[in-house]
Amino acid sequence: MNILVTGGAGFIGGHLAESFTRAGHDVTVLDNLEPFYDLGIKKHNVQAARDAAAEGDGSYEFVEGSATDATLVDDLVAGTDVVYHQAAQAGVRTSVEEPLKVNRYNVDGTLNVLEAARDADVDRVVNASSSSVYGKPEYLPYDEDHPNEPVSPYGVSKLAGEHYVRVYNEIYGLPTVSLRYFTVYGPRMRPNMAISNFVSRCLRGEPPVVYGDGAQTRDFTYIDDVLSANETLLTDGSADGEVMNVGSTDNIDILTLAETVRDAIDSDLEIEFADRHDSDAEHTHADISKANDLIDYEPTRDIREGVDEFIDWYRANRDWYEPLVLNS
C-alpha cells in the first residue's frame, strides 16, 4: 500500500514509518524538521526507516515540508491509500507561549490534510489526537464521552482538529479515525518528557526533578502499543468515524514514576522538587474499552516493564541520545 505519514520524522510518526516500510509498504514522510528538540533524534528516525527499506521490499521517501503547505500536501496525498496524520506542534507549555503557531500547525495543517484526502478519495485518514482534549477530569478513567474542557491551547487545537476530522467523515464520507494518545514513551522519545528526563539525570548521578508535589498522575503508553493500534487501522474500517482512547489503563503518579526510575538506576539519589506549570493536566487515565471493542486493542506493558525496557534502550544508545537530551 501507499502510505503517507505526516510528521513522520517525529517520535510516533518515525516509528510508524519504520514499521510500515519494514512490512513492505511504500511510505512517504512529510516533516518540516521543526527544531522543537534536537534534530539529531529526528534524523535517527528517518535513518531507521531508510534502513528498514533497504532491508526489505518496502520503499521510503522523505519530503521536507509542512502540512500547512496546501499545495505540497495535495501533491503528496494524490495516489496515497492511507494517511497517518501525525504532524503537529507538540508541547502544552509551548502552546501557552505560542498559541497562534500551534493553531496554524495543528488546525490549519489538519484541514489541509483532510481537504487533500477528500479530493484524492483515500481509503482512510488516521488522525493523531491527545488526552489533552479532556482537561479537568469530572471522573476517571476518561471515556470518550467525558466532557472536553482543555486547559491549554495545545488541547484546544487537538480538539478542533478532531471535530474537523469527524465532520469530514459525516458530511463528505471520508473514512477517518482519531486516536487520543495518552503520554506515549519508548525508544527515541522526545527528550523533554518526564521519563527521559528522569532516566537521563539518574544515569548521570543527578537526582530526578519532579514538578509540583508529584501527586499528579499519568497514563503512560508504550510506543509498541500505539503502533499496534495504528497498524490495525491500515486495513480495518470498523472504527471509521470514531474517536478512541489509546492508553495503557495503568496510570501512575509522577513521584512514584521518579522513584521507579531512580530505584532502577541509583537508589541513593534523592528526589528534588520544582514549581509546577499551571497548564499541566492534574490527572490522565484512559478507559480503552472502546478501542478494545472496535479494533481489539490491548496494551502489552505496564509502566514498570516499559520503563525497564526504555532504560535498557537508553544505555545501549547513550552515545547519541544522551548528548541531545543534555543540549535540549
Q: What is the largest CA-CA distance in the chain?
A: 59
CB 288 within 8 A of CB 297: yes
Whether 154 is catalytic is yes
8 A C-beta contact, residue 7 and residue 86: yes
What are the sequence ranges of the domains in the chain? 2-184+221-248+285-301
pLDDT tens digits for range 81-99: 999 999 999 888 889 999 9
Catalytic, out of 154, 164, 168, 222 = 154
Please provide the DSSP assignment of 261-323 as one string: HHHHH-TTPPPEEEPPPTTS-SB--B--HHHHHHH-------HHHHHHHHHHHHHHTHHHHHH
Average pLDDT over residues 10-33: 98
Whether residue 327 has pLDDT greater than 60? no
Helix and strand numbers (H, E) in the chain are 13, 13
The pTM for the full model equals 0.95
Average pLDDT score over the chain: 94
- Grid cell 489533552 is found at 132
Q: Using one digit for the tens of pLDDT, what is the confidence trace for 130-157?
A: 999 999 999 999 999 999 999 999 999 9
CATH superfamily assigned to domain 2-184+221-248+285-301: NAD(P)-binding Rossmann-like Domain (3.40.50.720)
pLDDT in tens, 49-65: 999 999 989 999 999 99
CA dihedral sign of residues 150, 153, 158, 159: positive
